[in-house]
Amino acid sequence: MEETLFSKIGVFLNRMLVFQPPKLPSRFVLEEKSRNDSPSQAEDPLKKALAELEALIRYGRRLQATLEKTRAALQGNRWDDERKVLRAEYTALEKQRQELNPLVLAYDVQTDNAGERPVSTSLTENRRLVEALYRLPVNKDLIVRDLTIGTAPPLKAMLIYLEGLTDGKIVGLMILQPLMLLSQGKRKATGDALIRQVMEELLPGNQVQPVGNFQDIQDRVNSGDTVVFLDGAAEALVVETKGWEHRGVGRPAIEQSIRGSQAAFAENLRVNTGLIRTMLRSSDLVTEMVPVGTRSRVNCAIMYLESVANADLVAEVKRRVSGFSTDYVDDSGFLEQFIEDKFILPLPQSLSTERPDRVASHLSEGRVAIITEGSPFALVVPVTFFTFFHSAEDFSLNPIAANFLRLLRVLGTFISIMLPALYIAITYFHQEALPTELALAIAGAREDVPFPAIFEVIMMELSFELIREAGVRIPGVLGSTIGIVGAIILGQAAVSAHIVSPIIVILVAITGLASSIIPEYRMALFARLSRFALLLLATFTGLVGLASGVLTIVVGLCSMKSYGVPYMAPIGPKVVPTLDVVVRGSAERRERRPDSLNTKDPTRQPYVSREWARKLPTGEEEK
Amino acid sequence: MPRLILGIFLLLTALLLAGCNGSRETDEIAYITAVGIDSAPEGKIKVSYRIAQPAALAGEAGKGGGGGRTTEVLGIVAPSLAIARDELGASVARVPNLAHIKAIVIGEDLARQGLGDSLGPLMRFREFRGSMFILVAKGTTAEQVLRQNKPIIEKLPSRFVEGMMENASVTGGYHMQTFFHHFYLRLKAAGGAPIATLIGVNPLTEEDQPSAGPTSPEKSYEYLPEKLPRTAGNPATLLGVAIFYHGSMVGVLTDEETRMLSILVNEFERGFITIEDPLEPSRGINVLMRPGSSPRIDTAFVDGRAVVRIHILMEGEVTSIGSGINYEDGEYRTLLENQISQLFELEMTQMLRHTQEVNADVANLSKYFRPHFARYQDFRSIDWDNLYSQMDIQVEVETKIRRFGLMRNTAPLRGKE
């Protein structure tokens, strides 16, 4: 075809308008299956055999080392000095050999759940188990402390506790000091007696108990106790050292709730991680620390449930948090802008909350929390659009009551975004859509006002925004009072002065109230901004413009992703919904975690969660 | 970036071209709440507009209530409604908006001359809505009706008409809800005759001019709007319906006939009747009637003649027994029930005969013949007007007295027995 001016324009427009994928590295999408989880079945037996062999080799090495030591002692004529030490060592070796009995060993290694294993007599074995259970060294919350008890002969020991849940002073004064400094004298060699001796003579803690398996140990450590492992003993000692931050931490100032926890984050990172850990007591709750900023190194904690959260998601969050350069990050809101995707709509891609209970419940669903040192707000990612209409207390209330509140919020959102635009569109273009009396009432109220309706609406909306912003800035108690008084007096005066009609005052007041009902500040801000855009569209093109505007917002929402998860899931794309999207189901029907998160373990609770209801009450017999 | 800007620009252009236009501030619009059409000499029509005055409706903030007249009536003689609308612009500074017209009133003269030509095209213009009510000014002009409509409760005359229409079925069924849309459909469809509620200007002189005496055993007379004996209040009165044949008004149904029609088309909800006491005819019994079920209408063609069998079940609640006779008892009750059934059968038959005389199938009985035809074309090819006047209509009314008000038994007056 011959090239003419029109064909050139056509080609130009075509090139300009037809979608061409941006030349960027591919966008992160949370895949259905995580790459890192569920190893193939074939390599399982091999792995287990390997674990068996490694345990044997470690035993062998230790035996060899002890033998070397004995030989040196014999050759160097230090037998008398070393005799007791070596005897203790050999007793421990003897015990470990019993554990390495092929049958027991095979059983232990086959047990998938490390938590069910008994405590080993070998300190090294115990340490390996603890590291596996608490995802060390990635997890920075669990502290492992090696020490030597100063008895004759000296005894190797190890203590573990969770940072944030334990009182450091108690650990120091009641465990470390007596064991390391005040423990002179002989010690008994064998397991039971050794445990008893340490418990009765050496540890001054107020509650000390021997425990024999890792399930109990995890429970106690997760609730803030310290566990002392002794070399050569098949039991460990639990010392009560609970001491976490509680109440006095401060109440939530922004996300207040009628029910539920009343604690809020503070500026101290370790207090914040501790607060989360007090609410979510799980061994595989991992806290990773990533320093950000080049001038000022600020620690940033990334928390997730290792057994639930998608590994790709965790890796992506870590990649982003550690993958940007700036000199100084002062707040989580600032950090967020460095790590989120860029979209046209200015919508929040993460949940910013000051409530540890909210973070804990999101972590249990398989999300990841990012806490910045010095910021009392945690970021939870990924989120969907609907998360922003949930409040912390929704699950503390009866489903019917909670759903009423939730639907109220949805209604409020619609009012906040559309009401002024709807009013303008109808009074300007579609007067027939109103009942005659209402049309005449509106017309009558506006009869004395010399301005166009759009001018009235924009003027009142702007003054409302002024009052609102001023209310935030005016210090202390004055703020809210001045805000309310200002609004009422301004509205009243404007009406008497025939500058605005009373209907507009009502409209703006309702809109303002409705936008305050949205629990998330950034979402409410978006509603306020889009209100003005829709208002302009409605002024020039009526309901068609309003509908196009709403459609554009919906398209924008559907194109967004929050850390790889579609923003409108589970509605767009349609996936299996949980009963916690717009409305929430009853507590016993929360069987599955959100599908869009692709968690490692999608099941939250069995289909029959209230088992007691299927059983007979105590004392009653089956007829 | 230029791509984005160009995209947004084109989208906005598309939106501005395809979006609504013609925006108007509320103070640029004249809201018309009712329109009246009368015949005028030389084939013209006289159009009366009732224009609302929003400022009077709103009143001052704090003072409560509006002052002054809320509406004004303007009349214009013009060849057509469309021209009249534009000529209104000669004296009103605002753009007339017809979307809020509640009632379209036709003068009796024009209605009798025929209004198919002037009303039919109305449906085509979007500002005229099918949900307007159509009324016929009985014995006067539409302009007079608009001027004399001075409701005593409502602020707006249009609200008065609306309220009257909405409550037609529960206040006795003496007039009917006649939508313009239904009127138009009846005008064009095969079978069924259009009807329009009558509105009249009552002189308020209490002069008793009944159109017909009471149909025994009923006690009440039959009336048309301008002849109802009443005083004070709004002179505008809605009573009865006008019946049309081929777009021309050919007759009226009185209030009682209208009630029968509304029972037949199942628009009747409840209404009182005062009936002669079967045993003591000088005294009356008040019964609150309501339909027990929708009327059962069976149709057949017998020897080329259309036969309609109508079965109606009425239920009643006795609210007063003047004679004190114990009608609560089984035997007496049957007596009373038969009396009522007889009355309804008689009145219904009279009403139908009346309409048969003018070929106007007001109850749209022809629609029940639809199952006899395979195609609409076959149905349409029948001359329903003639068929209707020849139709053999048998009415059977069954009455059940369900309740006797709040009294279980009637005790005689003290000193009389």
Domain that holds residue A536: 409-566
- Specify the pLDDT at position B130: 87
Co-location of B142 and B231 in the same domain: yes
Return the residue of A nearest to B13 by Cα.
A541
Q: Given an 8 Å threshold on Cβ–Cβ distance, is A444 in contact with B20?
A: no
Q: Which of B3, B56, B100 sits opposite A439 (nearest CB)?
A: B100
- Specify the pLDDT at position B68: 60
Residues of chain B neighbouring A437 (CB-CB closer than 8 A) = 156, 159
- Identity at B154, one-letter amino acid code: E
Q: What is residue B384's three-state secondary structure?
A: helix
Co-location of B277 and B300 in the same domain: yes
Return the residue of B nearest to A492 by Cα.
B61
Residues of chain B neighbouring A432 (CB-CB closer than 8 A) = 97, 99-100, 127, 129
- Specify the pLDDT at position B66: 45
pLDDT digits (tens, 9 = 90+) for A32-61: 765 555 544 445 677 777 877 888 888 888
Co-location of A440 and A546 in the same domain: yes
Mutate to test the interface with B, among A16, A436, A506, A544 (most CBs of B within 10 A): A436
B407 Cβ contact partners less than 8 Å away, ≥ 6 residues apart: none
Co-location of B146 and B212 in the same domain: yes
Looking at every residue in chain A, the average pLDDT score rounds to 84
- Specify the pLDDT at position B64: 44
Task: Round to whole Å and give the CA distance between B197 and B311.
Answer: 26
Give the ipTM of the model, two decimals please: 0.84
In a domain, A284, yes or no: yes
In a domain, A587, yes or no: no
Q: Which of B16, B24, B58 sits opposite A540 (nearest CB)?
A: B16
Residues of chain B neighbouring A447 (CB-CB closer than 8 A) = 27, 54-55, 58
Residue A78 above 90 pLDDT? Answer: no
Return the residue of B nearest to A19 by Cα.
B3
- Specify the pLDDT at position B61: 44
Co-location of A561 and A414 in the same domain: yes
Co-location of B398 and B384 in the same domain: yes
Co-location of B52 and B146 in the same domain: yes
In a domain, A486, yes or no: yes
Domain that holds residue B407: 270-411
Task: Round to whole Å and give the CA distance between A256 and B15.
Answer: 43
Return the residue of B nearest to A15 by Cα.
B3
Return the residue of A nearest to B24 by Cα.
A428
In a domain, A577, yes or no: no
Cα radius of gyration (chain B): 26
pLDDT average, residue stretch A539-565: 91
Co-location of B230 and B315 in the same domain: no
Co-location of B122 and B207 in the same domain: yes
What domain count does chain A have?
4
In a domain, B282, yes or no: yes
In a domain, A490, yes or no: yes
Co-location of B345 and B257 in the same domain: no
- Name the minimum distance, in Å, from the CA of B38 to any CA of chain A: 25
In a domain, A607, yes or no: no
Q: Which of A443, A448, A545 sits opposite B19 (nearest CB)?
A: A545
- Specify the pLDDT at position A416: 93
Task: Round to whole Å and give the CA distance between A327 and A373.
Answer: 15
- Specify the pLDDT at position A36: 53
Q: Given an 8 Å threshold on Cβ–Cβ distance, is A17 in contact with B97?
A: no
pLDDT digits (tens, 9 = 90+) for A135-177: 888 888 888 888 888 777 778 888 898 888 888 888 888 888 8
Residues in chain B whose beta carbon is closer than 8 A to a beta carbon of chain A? 2-3, 6-7, 10, 15-16, 18-27, 29, 31, 33, 52, 54-59, 61, 66, 97, 99-100, 102, 127, 129, 156, 158-159, 162
- Name the minimum distance, in Å, from the CA of A388 to any CA of chain B: 29
Place of tokens 């075809």: A1
b/e map B24-62, b = 16+ CB within 10 Å:
ebbbebbbbbbbbbbbbeeebbbbbbbbbbbbbbbbeee
Residues of chain B neighbouring A453 (CB-CB closer than 8 A) = 25-26
Task: Round to whole Å and give the CA distance between A597 and B320.
Answer: 73
Return the residue of B nearest to A543 by Cα.
B20
Task: Round to whole Å and give the CA distance between A230 and A194.
Answer: 9
Co-location of B88 and B204 in the same domain: yes
Task: Round to whole Å and give the CA distance between A356 and A266.
Answer: 10
Task: Round to whole Å and give the CA distance between B245 and B261.
Answer: 16
Co-location of A369 and A235 in the same domain: no
Return the residue of A nearest to B66 by Cα.
A444
- Specify the pLDDT at position A34: 54
Q: Which of B29, B129, B156 sits opposite A431 (nearest CB)?
A: B29
Co-location of B153 and B294 in the same domain: no
Choosing from A110, A131, A165, the residue where a domain stops is A110
Task: Round to whole Å and give the CA distance between B156 and B174.
Answer: 23
pLDDT average, residue stretch A408-428: 93
Co-location of B58 and B166 in the same domain: yes
- Name the minimum distance, in Å, from the CA of A571 to any CA of chain B: 26
What domain count does chain B have?
2
In a domain, A98, yes or no: yes
pLDDT digits (tens, 9 = 90+) for A443-491: 888 888 889 999 999 988 888 888 888 877 877 766 666 666 777 777 8
Residues of chain B neighbouring A428 (CB-CB closer than 8 A) = 23-25
Co-location of A322 and A371 in the same domain: yes
- Specify the pLDDT at position A412: 93
Tell me whether strands A285-292 and A298-305 are parallel, antiparallel or unpaired. Answer: antiparallel
A12 Cβ contact partners less than 8 Å away, ≥ 6 residues apart: none
Co-location of A414 and A559 in the same domain: yes
Of A77-91, A262-276, B334-348, the range with the lowest mean pLDDT is: A77-91
Co-location of A280 and A377 in the same domain: yes
Q: Given an 8 Å threshold on Cβ–Cβ distance, is B61 in contact with A495?
A: yes
Residues A389 and A409: beta-carbon distance below 8 Å: yes
Residues of chain B neighbouring A429 (CB-CB closer than 8 A) = 20, 22-24
In a domain, A580, yes or no: no
- Specify the pLDDT at position A198: 81
Co-location of B243 and B282 in the same domain: no
Q: Residue B395 maps to which CATH number? A: 3.30.300.210
- Specify the pLDDT at position B59: 58
pLDDT in 10s for each residue of chain B, 417 residues:
787 888 888 888 888 888 888 888 888 889 999 999 998 888 888 999 999 888 877 655 444 444 567 788 888 998 888 888 888 888 888 888 888 999 999 999 889 988 767 776 677 888 888 889 999 999 889 998 998 888 888 888 888 888 989 888 888 888 999 999 999 888 888 888 899 999 999 888 888 888 877 877 888 888 888 888 888 888 888 999 999 988 889 999 998 899 999 999 999 998 999 998 888 888 889 999 999 999 999 999 988 888 999 999 999 999 988 887 888 888 888 999 999 999 999 999 999 999 999 988 898 888 899 899 999 888 888 888 888 888 899 999 999 999 888 887 777 677 655
Residues of chain A neighbouring B2 (CB-CB closer than 8 A) = 16
Q: Which of B18, B24, B66 sits opposite A544 (nearest CB)?
A: B18
Residue A536 above 50 pLDDT? Answer: yes
pLDDT digits (tens, 9 = 90+) for A201-237: 888 878 888 888 888 888 888 888 888 888 878 888 8
Choosing from B266, B293, B312, the residue where a domain stops is B266
pLDDT digits (tens, 9 = 90+) for A510-521: 998 888 888 888
Q: Given an 8 Å threshold on Cβ–Cβ distance, is B19 in contact with A447?
A: no
> Per the omega criterion (within 30 degrees of 0), is the bond before A573 cis?
yes
Using the 8-state DSSP alphabet, how is residue B396 labeled? E
Q: What is the dihedral sign for C-alpha A60, A64, A67, A73?
A: negative
Co-location of A134 and A232 in the same domain: yes
In a domain, B284, yes or no: yes
Co-location of A100 and A123 in the same domain: no
Please report the beta strands in B280-391, taking only residues with DSSP state E, as ranges in sequence order.
Answer: 284-291, 296-302, 305-321
In a domain, B16, yes or no: no
Choosing from A110, A137, A169, the residue where a domain stops is A110
Choosing from B217, B236, B266, the residue where a domain stops is B266
Choosing from B266, B298, B314, the residue where a domain stops is B266
- Specify the pLDDT at position B62: 43
Task: Round to whole Å and give the CA distance between B280 and A5.
Answer: 101
- Specify the pLDDT at position A350: 93
Choosing from A566, A581, A599, the residue where a domain stops is A566
Residues of chain A neighbouring B130 (CB-CB closer than 8 A) = none
> Per the omega criterion (within 30 degrees of 0), is the bond before A153 cis?
yes
Q: Given an 8 Å threshold on Cβ–Cβ distance, is A429 in contact with B16?
A: no
In a domain, B19, yes or no: no
